[in-house]
Structure 1
Amino acid sequence: MIRPVTPDDTDALMELADAISLFSPDQLDELRAMLVASFLNSGDNQPFWLTDDDNGLVGVAYCEPERMTEGTWNLQFIAIHPSCQKEGRGTSLLKQVEDSLLARGGRILLVETVGTEDFAQVREFYKKNGYVEEARIREFYAEGADKVVFWKALKRTERTKS
């Protein structure tokens, strides 16, 4: 079941973030601070978290608005526990993010990822879900590690119209 994150999810989400092995210890600390801060704010133009809860948290997505834009959001990360990947959970979670953004007046969703070979599967995931590579910044993260920006226009469908 995909649902908004609650303060009670904090420890489980940190365990999930650690299990996917994408974050350094410093980044995990920053992630925890972002999560806690999000519980203090609310509203349509505030960052938000969603989780895939299947008798335990197996997925998470974090999205925040782009400053000084109208309806542009950035998916900072989406992750599924390694033991639950390749089951369609990432696609379901991404679709829920998109629907949530539409309900908040979102127009565009950006996603930034790494251009290295070990992230090829991640880039294919976004392409498969209708995202277009919009920009590439060479050597952004490190030597040989480009920043790749994907773009998608969010559209209302029968399931998202209210």
Structure 2
Amino acid sequence: MIRPITPDDKTALIILAEKVGLFGPNELKVLDEMLTGYFGDNSDSDHFWLIDDEEEPVGVAYCQSERMTVGTWNLLLIAIRPDRQRQGRGAALIQYVEQMLTARSERLLLVETSGLESFEGTRAFYRKCGFSEEARIRDFYSSGEDKIIYRKMLREA
């Protein structure tokens, strides 16, 4: 069941992020701060969190509007618990995000990832979900680690 997160989900989401293995201690601290800020903010018009929940979180997505644009959003986080990957859950989360944004008449969804060889599976996943590579910023994350930006049109301008 995909649904918006609640304050009761916070601890489980931190644990999920840790299990995924993409987050170090600093990133987990930032995630904790982001969740705290999200629940303290009464406005969800420019960002939202979703959870794929099955008695405990198995996936999470975070999406935020791009400032100073019209209808452009960035999927900043999508993660599925390792033992639940390759079951269509990530694709279902992305589809849910797209449906939410389309219902709001938003037009463009971006997602970015690493250019390292170890992220080829992630890039293939985004391509399978209908995203196309739009840009590459060389040496963005560190020397030799590019940032690759994917885009998907949700509606024409």
What is the TM-score normalised by the length of structure 2? 0.95
Q: How many percent of aligned residue pairs carry the same amino acid?
A: 53
AA in 2 matched with 1:32: D
1:9-48 equivalences in 2 (<5 Å): 9-43=9-43, 45-48=45-48
CA distance in 2, matches of 1:93, 1:149: 19
2:68 matched residue in structure 1: 68
1:7-156 equivalences in 2 (<5 Å): 7-43=7-43, 45-155=45-155
User: Structure 1 stretches of 5 or more lacking a match?
Assistant: 157-162
CA RMSD, 1 decimal: 1.3
User: Structure 2 stretches of 5 or more lacking a match?
Assistant: none
What is the TM-score normalised by the length of structure 1? 0.92
CA distance in 2, matches of 1:47, 1:118: 29
Cα deviation for residue 45 of structure 1 reads 2.9
| 1:135-162 C-alpha deviation (Å, 9 max, x unpaired) | 0000110111100000000149xxxxxx
| 1:72-128 C-alpha deviation (Å, 9 max, x unpaired) | 000001000000001000000110011111223311000010000110000000000
CA distance in 1, matches of 2:62, 2:98: 12
* C-alpha spacing 1:44/1:29, structure 2 compared with 1 (3 Å): closer
CA distance in 1, matches of 2:75, 2:92: 14
